[in-house]
Structure formats: C-alpha cells, structure tokens
Amino acid sequence: MTLPVRQLGNSGIEVCAIGLGAMPMSLAGRPPEATALETLRTFLDGGGDFIDTANVYCQNELELGHNESLIFKALKQLHHLEVPVATKGGLRMHGDSWTVDGSPSWLRMSCENSMKNLNTHCIFLYQLHAPDPEIDILESVGELMRMQQEGMIRYLGVSNVTRKQIRRLVESAAPIVSVQNRCNLFHREDIDKGLVEFCRENRITYIAHSPVGGHYNHANFMDNRLIERVAAKHGASNYAIALAWLLQQADNILPIPGASKPESIANSLTALDISLDAEDLAELGKVGAQ
C-alpha cells in the first residue's frame, strides 16, 4: 500500500505525511542514545522520511546543537544520510530558557553551527524559529535568503507566524516553502481562521508542531472521552486519531509528532492508515468545545 504523502511547498519534493519531531530526544528526561537511535530506526523503517530539529533542542546553552548532532550520528549509523532534515535558527538559550533573536548576525552564526552539527554544506530546510518582535521579519528572512543564495540553505521556512506575517512574506516574494505552527485538536485556530488555507493557496506546506498536544501536555490532552470513542471504533490509539484528524483537515498539513521512544513513533505512523468518516469528524469537531 502506498503511504499518504505531502509536497514540500512548490519544491517538487514529496515526503511521507507523518514526520518526526526530534525535540523530546534532547530535552530534560531524554532517552539514552541507543533508544533515540531505535526511535529513528523505527520511523525510517515505517516509511517516515522527514525529521524536524532545531539548534536549541538541548538542555542548556553549553550543549546547543545536541539534537542536530544526535540526528546526524543516528542517520549515519543507519545509512540514511539522504533523509531530509529540517532545522531552525532564531532562538538563543540563556541557561535552560529560550529567548528570541532574529538578528541577521545570530541567524548566520546559528546556521553555520547547524551545518557543522548536521555535517552538511547545505541545510535541507532552514526555518526561522520565531519572529523577533524587535526586528522586521523581512530583515530576518532576508538574511536567510542571502544564505540560500550563497548555497548554505536549500529551502526556507518560518515558524510561529501569524497570518499577517506570512501574507507579508508572500507579498514580498520570499521563497517560503513551509510554515510551522502549533496545531492540534485543541488548538485549531490556524485551520478555523484560514492560515492553513492561505498556505495551501500559495503552495506552502503547513507543518503542524505539537500535533498531539505538545511536549508537556500530550498525556492530559489525549485522555479525552470523545477522542477515546472514535479511537475505540477504529481500534486505534487516541494519538493516532488526533494525527489522522489533522491529516484530513487539508492536504498541505504535515504533522510532526514528537517521540523519544520507538513505540510512540510506531504508533503515530498508524495514523497514515486511518480514514475518519463524517460521523468521526463531527464527533472530533466537538473536542475543543468540551
């Protein structure tokens, strides 16, 4: 059976419709390296081929790039260095907290370091992690465009943006292929208010981060009787139903569920085989309203 796919913007590149969010493999409570390797192996064996990371996925400023280096090491060991890896720049770490810095100099330094961590001369997809309120987004993205012209970056994306910001980028002809925002059954503003559709009309992939509720909230979010009912009907987990729901909202949505355990990502990939009917979708439509 062929797995559902997603186009990456207008690049002509197709990826499996469920990606892997690698963040939980590097934050506090992260798994041993061998478990992280098995998680990546399970994802690739299951047909997955798009991995999301960031320079700041680590525990403190002394280990910036931890997640990127881990992914490179695992892909090398698994003989899968061809797999597209998307990373991000535009945040800094102070101790163990993140702050925004979208200055051109910081973006350039971060990108150079990410290239070293990922051991590549050209990053597949480089995303502005978040707009910096102190800096015009066109200035931050302008620096990413210069790095793209210099061959350091293949494709450009942005993250945590409003509809107004993405519209401005599109109107300025910035070659954005992806927008990565939070989107899940409980946070569906980008679907309801048209940001996802705006991206679709402009051939931009909408990468849904925190698709099962987020790093700290997923267990509470997924413990829900409405989701449970639909899950029981399909013999699926609540997580897989939440992902299948996202996949059926629009054909440009690419969810990237996080995982630090092989069984989590194996389960998330089962969403690719789930087809929700109108009754399921109506039931799930009530989730946020409970």
Q: Single out the segment in contact with ligand NAP by CB under 6 A; choices: 20-28, 72-80, 108-116, 142-150.
A: 20-28
Q: Among residues 42, 148, 165, 210, which is the contact residue for ligand NAP, using CB under 6 A? A: 210
Do residues 158 and 141 lie in contact, with contact meaning Cβ atoms separated by under 8 Å?
A: yes
Query: What's the CA dihedral at 228, 230, 231, 233 to 10 degrees?
Result: 120
- Rule CB under 6 A: say whether 237 interacts with ligand NAP: yes
Q: Which long-range contacts (CB under 8 A, 24 or more apart) does 186-194 make?
A: 186/213, 186/221, 186/287, 186/288, 187/288, 188/249, 188/288, 191/249, 191/250, 193/163, 194/163
Query: What is the DSSP secondary-structure string of 172-238?
Result: TT--EEEEEEE-BTTB-HHHHTTHHHHHHHTT-EEEEESTTS-TTTHHHHH--HHHHHHHHHHT--H
- Rule CB under 6 A: say whether 26 interacts with ligand NAP: no
Q: Among residues 178, 180, 205, 224, which is the contact residue for ligand NAP, using CB under 6 A? A: 180
**Minimum distance between the CB of residue 273 and ligand NAP, rounded to whole angstroms?**
13
- Rule CB under 6 A: say whether 218 interacts with ligand NAP: yes
Only one residue has tokens 């350091």, namely: 152
Q: Single out the segment in contact with ligand NAP by CB under 6 A; choices: 116-124, 132-140, 141-149, 257-265.
A: 257-265
Question: Beta strand 51-52 with 5-8: parallel, antiparallel or unpaired?
Answer: unpaired
234 contact partners, CB below 8 Å, separation of at least 6: 240, 241, 274, 276, 280
Q: Among residues 87, 178, 252, 267, which is the contact residue for ligand NAP, using CB under 6 A? A: 267
Query: Which amino acid is residue 58, in one-letter code?
Result: C
- Number of residues counted as binding ligand NAP (CB under 6 A): 29
Q: Among residues 26, 87, 252, 260, which is the contact residue for ligand NAP, using CB under 6 A? A: 260
- Rule CB under 6 A: say whether 248 interacts with ligand NAP: no
- Rule CB under 6 A: say whether 114 interacts with ligand NAP: no
Do residues 55 and 89 lie in contact, with contact meaning Cβ atoms separated by under 8 Å?
A: yes
- Rule CB under 6 A: say whether 158 interacts with ligand NAP: no
Q: Single out the segment in contact with ligand NAP by CB under 6 A; choices: 135-143, 144-152, 189-197, 255-263.
A: 255-263
CB 134: neighbour CB atoms within 10 A? 9
The number of C-alpha atoms within 13 Å of 62 and in the hemisphere containing its C-beta is 0
* Residue 159 or 248 having the CB closest to ligand NAP: 159
Q: Among residues 41, 214, 229, 283, which is the contact residue for ligand NAP, using CB under 6 A? A: 214
**Minimum distance between the CB of residue 55 and ligand NAP, rounded to whole angstroms?**
12
* Residue 12 or 97 having the CB closest to ligand NAP: 97
Q: Name the site residues for ligand NAP (rule: CB under 6 A).
A: 21-24, 52, 129, 159-160, 180, 209-215, 218, 237, 239-240, 256-261, 264, 267-268
